[in-house]
Structure 1
Amino acid sequence: MIDVAEILRVSAFGRYHLWILILSCAVTFFDGLDFLLIAYTLPYIRDEMHLSETAMGYVSAAAFVGQMIGALAGAYLADLLGRKPIILTCTVLSAFLTFSTGFAQTPETLMILRLLAGLTIGGLLAPAWSLNVEVMPRAMRATSVTIIMLGFSLGASASGALTNLIAPHLGWHAVFFLCGALTLILALVLLFTLPESVRWMVAKGKPASAVLSALQRLAPNEPLDRSSSFYLSDEASSSERTSPAAMFQQLFKGWLAYITPLIWVAYFCSSFAIYLKTSFGVLFLEELGLSVPDATWLGAVTGLLGALGGVLLLALTEKRGPAWIALAPAIGAPFTLLLGLGLVLNGPFFIPVVLMSSIMVGTGHAAVVAMTGIYYPSAIRATGGGWASFVAKFASVAAPIIGAHFFLGTKERVLHGYLFSAACLLGVIVCVLALAKFAARLTEQKPDA
């Protein structure tokens, strides 16, 4: 029998790994592009539809509600049916729904379409994370998740740039039409080139011929033959029941009983900070004196730099342990606090402080996202990431609704929003430091026979 886990562990990062990473980045790029369009087009939609602050909050929250449901459904189906079919299905549906959003004429239609789009976006991310964790060499697992989430941030940044380039001339509708069409082209590429996870195939007892074909691409120098049989030495047997309840229970097995709640709370706090920024960052900065185009460009740049920072931070974390993830929120919290206290609003340090605060919020969030799937076995990895995403989406839904009620309308309210974000960053620091302790215990735990 051939130990697939050992082959993947010692395999060198090659061209096929790179191709999977590029495809995954393209998936998350268009995911971020389609999802964050609403944040950057919201000022134009507000003026056309005469939206109140409360209505803007509900429009922003609609996609997050969809993400909550989609995260659970997509993750469970990905563990049951495979990573590829769920990623492909969600990409096709996302393309259709993004294109359809351009036809919206009322706030109610807009909310429904963004709710449905959120279902596809929520259902896509956990399978994409899982696919990369399961095919990459050991030293690249967490970093690969951060790199593909860099794709999400690049897409989010591109949505700001496209909005600035297109919306003032052709209207906000044209932005959704273009992005929906581009996402559909990506779906066609995925149909013919996206592979399935070899770890998932072994864990689920798929035919040896399919495993062999996938493994030969990932480890072309390994001596393999068609009579080989395969197993995973670093995971428990996959004989567990596959009902949603049974798979949920496995998230709390052994040291995971401590790790899973800490991941959830850290992801929740980080999500509140990042989605308050992405939902109302432009409106916050407009209230503090910047023009909408300048605030949009600033949001796009900080989103991109935050994602790049996440990649660098995870490269450090791979070598020195998960406690280093706390570095980003530890740097970001003081800068966010300076904004919330109003100490730098009228001076030359305003823009630099906004940049550092926003970049560190993004860097920390990218690193926290990478934690959500690396501690779980292949048979439940997408479920683990999906449940973490589901819990985090409570924050994603709450952020625009609470933000609309308490943090919009006046400069004083905006400052309160920055203070609340600083508190969220402190919560991330506490959870990550505790998680590092229990993660070390998990690495010492042997898999069941």
Structure 2
Amino acid sequence: MARAASQTLDVGQFLQAQKFSRYHLHILILCALVTFFDGQDFSALAYALPYIRDDMGISDEMTGYVSSAAFAGQMIGSLFGSYMGDIFGRRPVIIACTIGSAVFTTIVGFAGTPEQLIVLRFVSGLAIGGLLAPVWALSIESMPKSMRATSVTIIMMGFSFGSSSAAPIANWIAPVLGWEGIFWVCGAMTGVFSLILLFLLPESTRWMVATEKPRERIVPMLARFNPGFEAQAYERFSLSDERQTSKSANPLLKFRELFVGALLIVTPLIWAAYFFSSFAIYLKSAYGVIFMENLGIARQNAAWLGGATGVLGAIGGVALLAMTEKRGPGWIALAPLFAIPFTMLVGLGYVMGGTELVAVLLISATLVGAGHAAVISITSIYYPSAVRATGGGWASFMAKFAAVAAPIFGAQFLSGRQGAMDGYMFTALCLVGIVVCMLLLAWFARGLKAEEAHSAAQAQPAE
């Protein structure tokens, strides 16, 4: 930490010196709840879709377009929300997107045609996609360094839990209020939570320092991390553990910052890994229940199994990151690597039914979910605070190409048992892509550590 006589506080070192506290827990819980309701709103369609198909009689092709609409909205929303998060701050963007998700998810329940579903799911997807990069950034910038990646995985565990919660909501509400009630209930719950955020969600201290916000805004936030902090000794604030970035609000200049130094290779590898992982997870999200039905599992049992694997995958992701946080991103490849043989057992027809099929599907989907959660955890950690949301947003944007394509491409797998088996084989190919990308990323990420050490060494004399 900088000496008081210099009147400059190294906020990077200050935050790293803090032990995990109640305030860290406060931020972590709020961020996890943000993604919980985000995931609940997002996955409402997956569990409502079998009922919608029966009610509207839509074709397999139209089913693909309906499922892809939210992904397309997320893709655009991820760029817009991340850019706004770096310009105006994490807090206002997260709150605005949460309110938008609540409103438009509720309105989806009033759709009367497939075309209306497509439009409304696209609009709700803008809000759902817009908040993820800012909430990742808020968590990474607030947690101790040893918990940055793990905190993102815990937060996305909230998304998985929220996605899974749509399963019991569908099973309980659809028989009473129809598929429309699933969206009404999910939207109302998110709306109530958005009001809580107005009073409890803080801003990122690192972002305020990186963007040179007034001292009067920064000091109270530092005091929340350490109530004994003596603010009067410092007039200026710095971040020695981050390189300086362009202060321009020009989105093109912010985009260029994602390719400086070792990031020239690391960033594309993050995008590729996230792309393959998203194709696998969103194919499961969109059609997992239908695939399991086609394999002979009853609809409600398939919904419960889908929900359970979402929860177990999220927990598995946290366990995986706890093991790999200090060992590098290469260890993330373990989950998709182990998932490949289980997925192929179903795809090749070696497991056809009964308890054995349920067990294999449970293991496969859990490992796919754990790997996806771990991949997400690293999408923002390598970037400076001034462009961290932009980095996460662009990774999300690239991944959403897979998310949009998965339901459209996956519609060809909706016909019977053989179609479902082909869907699992394609998932196995996506898992191979994740393994390759993560192993390459682990190698090239070493250059980023060297750059961080160099930046810290240059800042040291100023202390």
Q: Same fold (TM over 0.5)?
A: yes
Does 2:172 match 1:168? no
In the TM superposition, what is the alpha-carbon distance from 1:438 to its structure 2 partner? 1.2
Residue 229 of structure 1: how far off its partner (Å): 1.7
- Distance, in Å, in 2 between the alignment partners of 1:227 and 1:259 is 36
CA contact (8 A) 2:211 2:247 kept: no
What does residue 278 of structure 1 align with? 285
1:86 alignment counterpart: 93
The amino acid that maps onto 1:44 is Y
Give ranges in structure 1 of 5+ residues lacking alignment.
none
| Structure 1 residues 143-175: Cα deviation after superposition (integer angstroms, max 9, x where no partner) | 110001000000000001110111022211112
Q: CA deviation at 1:319?
A: 2.3
- Give distance in 1, aligned partners of 2:384 and 2:425: 38
Task: Choose from 391, 411, 419 the match for 2:398.
Answer: 391
Note the alpha carbon deviations across 1:379-426, whole angstroms, 9 max, x for none: 11000000000000000000000001x211121121111011001001
Q: Which deviations, in whole Å up to 9, do the C-alpha atoms of 1:326-359 show, x marking residues without a partner?
A: 0100110110011110101136421111011100
Structure 2 Cα separation of the partners of residues 273 and 88 of structure 1: 30
Identity over the aligned pairs, expressed in percent? 56
Q: Of 191, 200, 214, which aligns to 1:193?
A: 200
User: Whole-Å Cα distance in 2 between the matches of residues 26 and 349 of structure 1?
Assistant: 35
Q: Which residue of 2 aligns with 1:246?
A: 253
- Report the secondary structure of 1:230's partner residue: strand
**Counterpart in the other structure of 2:421:** 415
Question: Contact (CA 8 Å) 1:212, 1:226: kept in 2 or not?
Answer: no
- Where does residue 3 of structure 2 map in the other structure? none
Provide the secondary structure at the position in 2 that maps to 1:392.
Answer: helix
Deviation larger for 438-447 or 325-334: 438-447
Q: 1:444 aligns with which of 446, 450, 453?
A: 450
**2:245–2:257: 8 Å Cα contact kept in structure 1?**
no
CA displacement, residues 281-335 of structure 1 (integer Å, 9 cap, x when unaligned): 0000000001110100000000000001001111111122211100100110110
How far apart are the structure 1 equivalents of 2:355 and 2:248? 60
Query: Contact (CA 8 Å) 1:34, 1:180: kept in 2 or not?
Result: yes
Instruction: Please list the CA deviations of residues 99-151 of structure 1 after superposition, one character each: whole Å capped at 9, or x if unmatched.
Output: 10111111111111100011011110000000000010111100110001000
Deviates more, 1:411-420 or 1:280-289: 411-420
Measured in 1, the distance between the counterparts of 2:148 and 2:97 equals 23
Residue-by-residue CA offset, 1:53-83 (whole Å, 9 max, x unaligned): 1111111000000011001000011001100
| AA in 1 matched with 2:276 | C
2:312 pairs with 1:316? no
* RMSD, aligned CA: 1.2
Deviations 1:235-260 (A, max 9, x none): 12244422111111110100000100
Alignment of 1:110-259 (within 5 A): 110-225=117-232, 227-259=234-266
Q: Is the 8 A contact 2:47 2:303 kept in 1?
A: yes
Instruction: Give the AA of the match of 2:450.
Output: E
**Within 2, Cα distance between the matches of 1:226 and 1:40?**
56
| 2:348 counterpart (325, 341, 354) | 341
Cα displacement (A) at 1:226: 6.6
Give ranges in structure 2 of 5+ residues lacking alignment. Answer: 1-7
Amino acid corresponding to residue 60 of structure 2 in structure 1: E
Contact 2:276–2:430 (8 Å) recurs in 1: yes
Structure 2 counterpart SS, 1:225: helix
CA distance in 1 between partners of 2:324 and 2:249 (Å): 32
Deviations along 1:13-55, whole A, 9 cap, x unmatched?
1001101111111110000000000000000111111111111
CA distance in 1, matches of 2:435, 2:281: 15
